[in-house]
Amino acid sequence: MSSFPEHWVKAPIGNVCKLVNGRAFKLSEWSDHGLPIIRIQNLNNPKAAYNYFNGAIEDRHRVENGDLLFAWSGTPGTSFGAHIWEQGPAVLNQHIFKVIFNRDLVDSTFLRFAINDTLDELIAQAHGGVGLRHITKGKLEATEISLPPLEEQRRIATALRVHLARISSIRSDLRDARDLGSKYKDSILDAAFGETDRNKPSAEFTLLSDFVDEGPTNGWSPKTGPDATGALSLKLTATTSGYLRLDEAAVKRLYERPEEDSRYWLKPGDLLVQRANAMEHLGAAAIYDGPPLTYVYPDLMMRLRISDSNRCRYLWRYLNSGAAKRFLRSRATGTAGNMPKINGETLRSLPIPLPAGGNFAEVVDRIERNFADMDSVLQATESSASALSLLEKAILQQALCGKLGTADKADGSAADLLLEIQNSSVSDSALAKSSNSRLASGNSLRKAKEIDMASRVRADVAADHLRVTLIGMGGATSPRDLWRKSEMTIDEFYKQLRQEMGDGCILAGAGQDELVIPDAS
């Protein structure tokens, strides 16, 4: 994080919060009624389905509206992060911390922003592989956040809510624009191919089996692994969009390499069709335009070959049209819970509408001209979305290093705030009852004292360390300036200060917020 104002302090998250992990529910404990179980998907998507628990639950695992939760396990970029719960009474699943803190001293919205501002740092230290990873409690507790006085926290949180609400509204408009662009492309294909109604007198069709030169043939899926040195194979992701991807996320390395004359090697111009996937992607088609003898295709795809490039492009566009998708999906097989599939016979029976005069190039060129126009609009939309994300990040960074102009001298010192946080520690049993205590009191946001601070060992310093430091500063200064000069942590400083004031080495000055040595008073 960038530098922050002098009246702010840095503190480890563990000095500000108590982290309570959720309960590990067994599948046998799930129910169709009772309290909803909060899992990570319920934090990222309010519409995600719930499992329920209808048994006895410890108070520390209960969640009420306003509780701050932190998901610490999952996929980087999608799973991790702090959330304020607003979906009613619930119980907390494992892999999520309930974040308990003193609401009289720390603003929940500011704290959520501050914790989420550390996510890149936390994810970089997360344990696990490329997929599932987890942030340890110790790492989270040791990660520092910058903290201003409470009233400034609240002003920053309010400003951020306003700015981010505007950004969210614009982002929603951009999503709508992308959706409209996708629907426009669908309408272009519908207009180009019409309905595959074979009862129309003017419609001319042929079956896919008569349209292609070779195929469909299924691919090959031998074992893969991180230490494999064989051929490269496409993943389903490589063709799901309707266009070929060959980036790292779309390919994998096999342990084996087929012979050079193998039918599994892809050639430029091969047309690939997904024969198994989620229903919305079933039948997705893309043309392979990579190098020869480099990639093979998996068993979940079928390959078609057509020597005429215009006919190939025509079939590719038609396979991605609404008419072809409806035909294939209506004939998909698969039991509930399994991936829907189509077989070669189904694909061969697909009726292909033929253009007037057999002019495949004219139809495809018209489609691609219209697509190019819409793609330029969608590209501008994507650029705007990227700029919006950068703006959002910049606003958060400015806010969380004190550059939104929200400071007020009347707020006091964050160092004093941190000391008050430390002095407000309570027992684990009281922390565990935080949600119920707030619910019962009716005034919990102002009354809860919910922080369990681990006492820290004071640095090995002389008994009159602060007095000597104060003399070097001219014999009088503010507690904040003395703390900075002392090179001690905030809790070490106040322990030492109380000791030296008790011994008479340092006195409170005549001026407000002033410390002096006895002979300087």
Q: Tens digit of pLDDT for each residue in 392-408?
A: 989 998 888 888 776 67
Q: What is the pLDDT of residues 494-508, one digit of tens each?
A: 788 888 888 888 888
Helix (H/G/I), strand (E/B), else coil: 435:
helix
Q: Residue 10: pLDDT above 90?
A: no
Quick check: do 205-353 and 465-520 share a fold?
no
Query: Do 117 and 101 contact (CB within 8 A), yes or no?
Result: no
Which pLDDT band holds residue 296 (cuts at 50, 70, 90)? very high
Which pLDDT band holds residue 460 (cuts at 50, 70, 90)? low
Q: Residue 189: pLDDT above 90?
A: yes
Average of per-residue pLDDT across 228-257: 94
CA distance 498 to 419: 12
Please name which of 127, 154, 129 lies closest in space to residue 140, comparing C-alpha atoms. Answer: 127
Q: What percent of the chain has pLDDT over 90?
A: 47
User: In this predicted structure, what is the pLDDT of residue 75?
Assistant: 65
More confident residue, 467 or 306: 306
Please name which of 333, 359, 335 lies closest in space to residue 347, comparing C-alpha atoms. Answer: 333
User: In this predicted structure, what is the pLDDT of residue 190?
Assistant: 92
Domain regions of the chain by residue span: 9-149+412-447, 205-353, 465-520
Structure tokens at 40: 């990570």
Helix (H/G/I), strand (E/B), else coil: 107:
coil
User: In this predicted structure, what is the pLDDT of residue 471?
Assistant: 79
User: In this predicted structure, what is the pLDDT of residue 186?
Assistant: 92
Q: Residue 456: pLDDT above 60?
A: no
CA 24 from centroid of its chain's CA atoms: 23
The CATH code that applies to domain 9-149+412-447 is 3.90.220.20
CA distance 479 to 466: 10
Q: Residue 432: pLDDT above 70?
A: no
Amino acid code (one letter) for 74: G
Q: Residue 244: pLDDT above 90?
A: yes
Which pLDDT band holds residue 255 (cuts at 50, 70, 90)? very high
Omega cis (within 30) before 46: no
In sequence order, the 6+-apart residues with CB closer than 8 A to the CB of 363 are 192, 314, 317, 355
In sequence order, the 6+-apart residues with CB closer than 8 A to the CB of 461 are 488, 496
Q: What is the pLDDT of residues 31-41, one digit of tens each?
A: 888 999 998 88
Query: Among 48-52, 131-135, 249-253, 479-483, which stretch is predicted with the lowest mean pLDDT?
Result: 131-135
Intra-chain end-to-end CA distance of the chain, in Å: 40
Q: What is the pLDDT of residues 55-109, one digit of tens each?
A: 888 889 999 999 999 988 766 556 688 999 999 999 999 889 999 998 888 999 9
Q: Residue 451: pLDDT above 50?
A: no
More confident residue, 520 or 298: 298
Q: Residue 211: pLDDT above 80?
A: yes
DSSP summary character for residue 222: -
- What is the residue-averaged pLDDT of the chain? 83
Which pLDDT band holds residue 129 (cuts at 50, 70, 90)? low
CA distances from 424 to 105, 235, 430, 493 (A): 10, 55, 12, 17
**String of b and e for 350-377 (b: at least 16 CB within 10 Å)?**
bbbbbeeeeebeebbeebeebbeeeeee
Strand 73-74, strand 127-128: pairing: unpaired
User: In this predicted structure, what is the pLDDT of residue 441?
Assistant: 38
CA 69 from centroid of its chain's CA atoms: 14
Q: What percent of the chain has pLDDT over 70?
A: 84
Q: Whole-prediction pTM value?
A: 0.63
Average of per-residue pLDDT across 136-149: 88
Query: Among 15-29, 219-233, 255-269, 445-459, which stretch is predicted with the lowest mean pLDDT?
Result: 445-459
User: In this predicted structure, what is the pLDDT of residue 419?
Assistant: 73
Query: Among 9-23, 367-381, 440-454, which stretch is predicted with the lowest mean pLDDT?
Result: 440-454
Angle at 419 between CA 416 and CA 423, to 5 degrees: 140
DSSP summary character for residue 117: T
User: In this predicted structure, what is the pLDDT of residue 404?
Assistant: 75
- DSSP secondary structure string for all residues of 172-210: HHHHHHHHHHHHHHHHHHHHHH----TT-TT--EEEHHH
In CATH terms, 205-353 corresponds, of 3.10.450.50, 3.30.565.10, 3.90.220.20, 2.40.160.10, to 3.90.220.20
Give the containing element (helix H, strand E) for 497. helix 490-502
Integer Rg of the chain from CA: 32
CA distance 141 to 125: 13
Which pLDDT band holds residue 272 (cuts at 50, 70, 90)? very high
Query: Among 28-32, 259-263, 298-302, which stretch is predicted with the lowest mean pLDDT?
Result: 28-32
- DSSP secondary structure string for all residues of 60-103: GGEE-TT-EEEE-EE-TTTS-EEEE--S-SEEEBTTEEEEE--T
User: In this predicted structure, what is the pLDDT of residue 496?
Assistant: 85
User: In this predicted structure, what is the pLDDT of residue 433?
Assistant: 42
The CATH code that applies to domain 465-520 is 1.10.10
Angle at 519 between CA 513 and CA 521, to 5 degrees: 35
SS3 content of the chain, % helix, strand, coil (to 5): 45, 15, 40
User: In this predicted structure, what is the pLDDT of residue 105?
Assistant: 86
Q: Residue 200: pLDDT above 90?
A: no
In sequence order, the 6+-apart residues with CB closer than 8 A to the CB of 23 are 57, 58, 61, 91, 92, 93, 94
